[in-house]
Structure 1
Amino acid sequence: MKLLFRVFLISLLGVLFAQCIGVSKTFPEKRFFLIETTETKQLFAPPKPRTFLVKKVFISPRFEGKEFVYRKDNVVYESDFYNGFFIPPSHNFREEFSKSLIRSGNFEWDANLHTRLNITHFIELNLPQLYGDFRAKEPKAVIEFEVVIYEDKESIASPVFRKTYKQTVIIEKKDAESLVIGWNIALTQALSELNLDISKQLK
């Protein structure tokens, strides 16, 4: 009986001690986001009889993970464990990029979705920048990507189109939701410029 009383007393003291020092701690829930562009302006109706295949989407290793990245100082970057992409950012970017090409009318088919097509253009994408710039009082959403388009998968040394697009959008607050809104605006603007360039340059 004495042994049981001692065990009970020790357990009770442990609970009281934990409550006193506040061992129990709540953590914020993880949140997941997607970059989503607004409607793309239609440049051709009906669309051009072109098809494309996105062969590769390369994102700098600094930003390829699902966690958001914030630049806090010139040499200091920080990842956000509690806020990130719902799917890998390379997949998210590819999807929005492809939808924009179709909606603009620059292309009629996405060969990544329709496998029995005769492909007219092959595309490679490179994203060196995708982060929130939180160094100054006015935070910014930063996105930069390069588009390379070939007409023949065997002639990758001579692209028919190549250009880098960079957008920096001022956002309201230094938080994840504001950053995603900024990325949405930045990517929409960049893709609008891209589609206009493609409409003038591709055959």
Structure 2
Amino acid sequence: MKISIRILLFIATSMLFTQCFGVTKTFPEKRFFLMETTETKPLFVSPKPRTFLVRKVFISPRFEGKEFVYRKDNVVYESDFYNGFFIPPAHNFKEEFSKSLLRSGNFEWDANLHTRVSITHFIELNLSQLYGDFRSKEPKAVIEFEVVVYEDKDSISAPVFRKTYKEYTTIEKKDAESLVIGWNSGLSKTLSEMNLELSKQLK
């Protein structure tokens, strides 16, 4: 009987302590986002009879995780446990990149999706920067990537196209939603620029 009374006293004391001192703490729910680009402007009346295969997507180990990364100081980076990508960022980037090539008309087929087509071009991507730059009062969405296009599947010959694109997009707030909007805007702009330049280099 004494043990039961002690247990009841302990429970009552714990509840009183919790209510008085606010020990109970709620945490925000995790949110997941996707990078989505706007419609790419067609460059040709009908797509060129080319096919492509995105052979490799390299991404810096600093940004390969699903959690968003914020740069708070010159040497200080933080990851956001509660906000991140719905799918790995390398996969998200590859999907948007591939869709832009088809929408532009530079290519007719994506060999990653249609395995029976004959491949004319092989592409390698290097996503080196993907973070929110929160060091100043004007936060920015930063994205940098390199595109390398080959006609030779063994990559023995020199690439027919190679360029690095980097975009700093000013965003309204230092939060996850504004960061994604900035990434979408910056990526849409650079992919449109890339497709225009690519159209002048491909045979």
| Smaller-chain TM-score bracket | over 0.9
TM-aligned CA distance change 1:178 to 1:107, over 3 Å: same
Q: Which residue of 2 aligns with 1:31?
A: 31
Q: Which residue of 2 aligns with 1:107?
A: 107
Q: Is the 8 A contact 1:54 1:124 kept in 2?
A: yes
Alignment of 1:132-151 (within 5 A): 132-151=132-151
- Confirm whether residue 181 of structure 1 aligns to residue 173 of structure 2: no
Q: Which residue of 1 aligns with 2:200?
A: 200
Deviations 1:80-125 (A, max 9, x none): 1110000000000000000000000000000000000100000000
Alignment of 1:53-202 (within 5 A): 53-202=53-202
**Normalising by the residue count of structure 1, what TM-score does the alignment of the two structures yield?**
0.97
Task: Provide the C-alpha distance between the structure 2 equivalents of 1:3 and 1:112, rounded to a whole number of angstroms.
Answer: 68
Amino acid at match of 2:72: K
* Aligned-pair CA distance for 1:21: 2.2
Q: Is the 8 A contact 1:67 1:79 kept in 2?
A: yes
* Aligned-pair CA distance for 1:54: 0.2
Task: Provide the C-alpha distance between the structure 2 equivalents of 1:130 and 1:175, rounded to a whole number of angstroms.
Answer: 15
Aligned residues between the structures: 203
**Normalising by the residue count of structure 2, what TM-score does the alignment of the two structures yield?**
0.97
Amino acid at match of 2:150: Y
TM-aligned CA distance change 1:10 to 1:153, over 3 Å: same
TM-aligned CA distance change 1:199 to 1:22, over 3 Å: same
* Structure 2 SS opposite 1:102: helix
Task: Provide the C-alpha distance between the structure 1 equivalents of 2:5 and 2:137, rounded to a whole number of angstroms.
Answer: 60
Task: Provide the C-alpha distance between the structure 2 equivalents of 1:75 and 1:157, rounded to a whole number of angstroms.
Answer: 39
* Structure 2 SS opposite 1:141: strand
* Aligned-pair CA distance for 1:157: 4.6
Identical aligned residues as a percent: 79
Q: Which residue of 2 aligns with 1:52?
A: 52
TM-aligned CA distance change 1:156 to 1:127, over 3 Å: farther
Q: Is the 8 A contact 1:150 1:156 kept in 2?
A: no
TM-aligned CA distance change 1:27 to 1:156, over 3 Å: farther
Runs of 4+ in 1 over 3 A off after TM superposition: none
Q: Is the 8 A contact 1:160 1:202 kept in 2?
A: yes
Amino acid at match of 2:175: D
TM-aligned CA distance change 1:91 to 1:164, over 3 Å: same
* Structure 2 SS opposite 1:201: coil
* Aligned-pair CA distance for 1:74: 0.7
* Structure 1 SS opposite 2:200: helix
